[in-house]
Amino acid sequence: MIAILVGVSVFGLVGLCRSEDEEVTREVVFQSAGQTIPLEKEGIIKLGQDLELLVAGCWYNTAGDSAFVQENLKQHWSEIIQNGYFIQVTYSKPYQLKQGLRVTNILMGFNSDFPNLYSKDGDTIAGHYKCDGVGILSLLCKEPVRKYIPEIYERARYCETYEKMLKDTSE
C-alpha cells in the first residue's frame, strides 16, 4: 500500500509517495532569536508536511554540483543554525526527491531577505531554488510561524501581500 502526500503549488500538483508500512516520524525544531519555540503535535506534523511539499515542488536543486558548491552550502547551513532563525525537520527515514536526491533533513533559514530552503542527507546538502513563493508566504504567515518571524519580513510586508492575494482571489 502506498501513502501519498499531495499539495498544490503555483508550479502545479506536487506529490510524495511512501510505502504505508514505512513509519516515518518527523522531528521539527523551530527557532526564533536563538530560542526554541514549542510546537503542538499538529503543528509539528503540518510544518513538516508543508516544508516537505515546498522542497519537492522546487524547480531546481544543487544536487550533484561541484565540491566548491558543497562547501558553500555547508557554510550556509551552519550560518543559519548559528543565526538562530530557522525551521528544521529531521525525518526518521530518508525519502527520495526527483533526480534521485535523498532527504533526511530540511532547513528553512530566515537569515536573508527571503527564506532559504536546503535539504541534507548525511554530508550531502542541496540548495533548493525557484520554489513556490506563495507556498513559502503561506507557511510564513500562519501561526505559529508568523508570530516569530524576523522583523525584516514584517517590514517587507510579506504577510500583508499574502493576505491581499488571498482576498483578491476569493472575490
Looking at the DSSP bridge assignments, the partners of residue 61 are 128
pLDDT in tens, the chain (171 residues): 333 343 443 333 344 444 444 566 788 899 988 899 888 888 888 888 888 888 888 888 887 666 767 788 999 999 999 999 999 999 888 888 766 788 999 999 988 888 899 999 988 899 998 888 888 999 888 888 888 877 777 777 888 888 898 888 776
Per the structure, the complete domain to which residue 50 belongs is given by: 25-170
Residue 19 lies in a domain: no
Distance CA 140, CA 162 (A): 10
Residue located via cell numbers 525537520: 89
| Number of residues assigned to the chain | 171
What is the spatial distance between Cα 87 and Cα 108, in angstroms, rounded to a whole number? 5
Please tell me the total count of domains within the chain. Answer: 1
**49, part of any domain:** yes
The answer to whether position 12 is within a domain reads no
